[in-house]
A and B are shown apart, each in its own frame.
Chain A
Amino acid sequence: MIGLGLLALGGGVLIGLARALNGRLGMSGGAPYASVWNHAVGFLFMSALLLLRREAPWSAIEDVDGLWFVGGAIGALYVTANSFVVPRLGATLSTLLVLSAQLLASVGLDAAVRGQFQVGWTWWLGLALVVGGMKLSLPRPHKRVFSESSRG
């Protein structure tokens, strides 16, 4: 169980690492450039993994509706947006904003798919804390110079 916990924590670190590396690449080549490399390198990595596992990707998708492949296209936009904000907002704030919106949107998606919206009071408390934290993260007007890169 401790091993699994560390693995899940490590998964979070991997997401943070990917976000930071793509953000750094975006600083030099632009955010879409970072998205191209992220997906090309990830594609090569997954190809190697499939080869290793002797898993053929062709036959598996014969009966799959094309709609399900939209995720990749959305991912390209996600990495572009992500790489754009990391150098501008910093890694921590970018992470927390992306995460909060992701958690809220997934509840919304779930509600849309299942046709019901059911959350507990702790969820509403969480929402209030996230919104409060967001407001606090905005620079105070007279301090704007320090929290926003001058070239942004």
Chain B
Amino acid sequence: MNAKTSGLIALIAGALLAVMIFFNSGLGARTSTTVASFYAHGVGAVVALGVWFGLGRLSGRSERSPAPWWAYLGGVPGALVVVVAAITVNSPLGLTGTLVLGVSGQTAFGLLCDQRGWLGLPRRPLDRRRAVSVAAMLLGAVLLVGGAA
């Protein structure tokens, strides 16, 4: 598996995310944000179990040692995001402000993880080429948010 294939999977993940948000916010509009997130996680858990059984060992492990206990808690910040977004999107910040600040927060946190090897991820310090690439993509993402609004 080369970097291009991994990059393509990341792009597919982003497209899936957009479709997921479309359906989940539609469900939220018909029920409530918390109820929608409750069902989305429930359905997601069942489908993820199916994928896990289906793919078995073809699942891309890269580490032999067991995961630390805190690595199992990704669902907590993931679920909290829904609650936080419901507050900020319906504030003067709106969807655009929420997105721009969210993009910045995500990228800053990613940079810290890569730079320091936080949370047991492989260390990947920035070189000049990667710094330019990150800056271009970040600015581009902000313009994509602003330019579509």
Of the residues B6, B106, B130, contact of A15 by C-beta under 8 Å: B106
**Hey, which chain A residues are within 8 Å of B14, CB to CB?**
97-105
Q: Which of B23, B35, B77, B133 contacts A14 (CB 8 A)?
A: B77
- Which B residues, 27 to 78, have Cβ-Cβ distances below 8 Å to chain A? 27, 30-32, 34-45, 47-49, 51-52, 54-55, 57, 59-68, 70-78
Q: Assess the B107–A7 pair: CB atoms within 8 A.
A: no
- Assembled-state Cα–Cα distance A127/B136 (Å): 10
Interface size class of B (residues with CB under 8 A): 35 or more
Q: Which residues of A contact B67 (CB under 8 A)?
A: 24-25, 27-29
Minimum distance in angstroms from A28 CB to a CB of chain B: 4
B93 engages A77 (CB within 8 Å): no
Report the minimal beta-carbon distance from A43 to chain B, rounded to whole angstroms: 4
- The chain B residue sitting closest to A128, CB to CB, is B140
Q: Are B120 and A24 in contact (CB under 8 A)?
A: yes
Contacts between chains A and B (CB distance < 8 A), count? 493
Give every chain B residue within 8 A of A75 (Cβ-Cβ): 16, 20, 24, 40-41, 43-44
Closest chain B CB from A41 CB (angstroms): 3
From the candidates A20, A27, A41, name the one contacting B113 in the complex (CB within 8 A). Answer: A20
Q: Which residues of B contact A35 (CB under 8 A)?
A: 44, 48, 51-52
Q: Could you tell me the distance between the alpha carbons of A89 and B5 in the complex, rounded to whole angstroms?
A: 10
A38 CA to B67 CA, complexed, in Å: 14
Q: Provide the bound-state CA to CA distance between A40 and B84, in Å.
A: 20
| Closest A residue to B45 using CB positions | A39
B88 near A101 (CB under 8 angstroms)?
A: no
CA distance A22 to B86 in the complex (A): 23
Given contacts A12-B106, A25-B71, A105-B18, contact A87 B44 (CB under 8 A): no
Docked CA distance A136–B20 (Å) = 29
Q: A30-B60, A70-B23, A138-B3 are in contact. Are A46 and B147 (CB under 8 A)?
A: no
- Min C-beta distance of A83 to chain B, whole Å: 8
Q: Which single member of B23, B77, B110, B130 contacts A95 (CB below 8 Å)?
A: B110
Question: When the two chains form the complex, which single residue of A31, A36, A57, A134 contacts B45, counting CB atoms closer than 8 Å?
Answer: A36
A-B residue pairs, 10 tightest by C-beta: A12-B105, A101-B14, A30-B59, A123-B147, A72-B43, A126-B143, A41-B75, A129-B140, A71-B23, A16-B109
